Structure formats: structure tokens, C-alpha cells
Amino acid sequence: MQGTVENRPGVGDIVPLTRRRLLLIAGAGLVGVVLPAPARATPDAMAEAVKRLIGDRVVTPGRITLTIPPVVETGNLVPVTVAVESRMTAGDRVRAIHLVDDGNPAPDIASYRFGPAAGKAEISGRVRLLLSQTVLVLAEMDDGSVWSAAAEVTVAFGACAYM
């Protein structure tokens, strides 16, 4: 079949825009989109959060039991339990428990306040973690002292990645 011209567009020819071509172009465009890196608190932001919560008081390690898994598959619902050794009587009462981290967009996770009628200084719940990070717990006591505990958590797939 010499002398026949193939039915293909050549250079400079106008190619009709079909639904298939449109979807192909749109798909190729999505592949080229670069997602922004997830925001993450800096060590300075964490230090500022701690200072905002407890001021210039000295932090002493101890008196806190922090239970959190060291490795989690997803950071969406990470179980955490915090218990502070305290008789919860005048002079030995926990006023507040603060959870802070260095991996989420904002370093403050949560703060819990305890009144005089609280019989136990313990909290339990689930938190969202973006990346592998350090979770820091601070306990403010009635006498003005501050106690702490920390744990490293490795997160395989983060939550709140694009907030």
C-alpha cells in the first residue's frame, strides 16, 4: 500500500480533544503536583509552649507514669494514659497535667485541670500524632513544683499531615 497516508496527526496538525485525552492530560497534571511538606513544631516552639504553660519553674523528672505505645502503625488514634503519684490532698495535689510534643504542627496536645474534689490524678484518651516524635508530660503540683515524663513514639503513617 504505497502512497497511502496514515491517519495520524503530524507536526503542526490540530489534535481533537477527546474525553480520553482530557483525562490523560488531567492525570498527568496531578502527577506533577507537589504536596507541601507537613508542618512540624520546632524545638523552639516546644520550649515556648512549655514556658507558656509553667513559666520559669524547674522541671523535675519523675512521679509520672506515661503509658503510650513506642511504635504505632498510624498516628490517627494513639492511646495515652498519664498517672501522677499524688495523694490528692492539700499540699500534695496535682493542679494540672499538660501533654506537649515536638512533631505536630502545634506543640500543645492537651491540658487537664484538677480541682480539690478530684480523687485521682489520672487521664486517659487518644491523641493524633503527625510524625515520630517525643511526647512530654508535665504535672503541676499544688506546692508549685513541676514533674515530667517523656516517651519517644515512632509513627509509621502520620495523622494530621495536611492541616
CA distance 96 to 102: 20
More confident residue, 156 or 19: 156
* Pairing of β 122-127 and β 78-84: antiparallel
DSSP E strands: which ranges in 25-88?
59-61, 64-67, 71-74, 78-84
pTM: 0.73
Predicted local distance difference test score (pLDDT) of residue 43:
77
More confident residue, 17 or 139: 139
Whether 97 shows a pLDDT value over 50: the answer reads yes
More confident residue, 109 or 160: 109
- Tens of pLDDT, residue by residue over 8-35, are 555 555 667 777 776 666 665 555 454 4
Three-state DSSP class for 3?
A: coil
Whether 149 shows a pLDDT value over 50: the answer reads yes
CA distance 15 to 23: 15
Spell out the domains of the chain, with CATH numbers in brackets: 43-157 (2.60.40.2470)
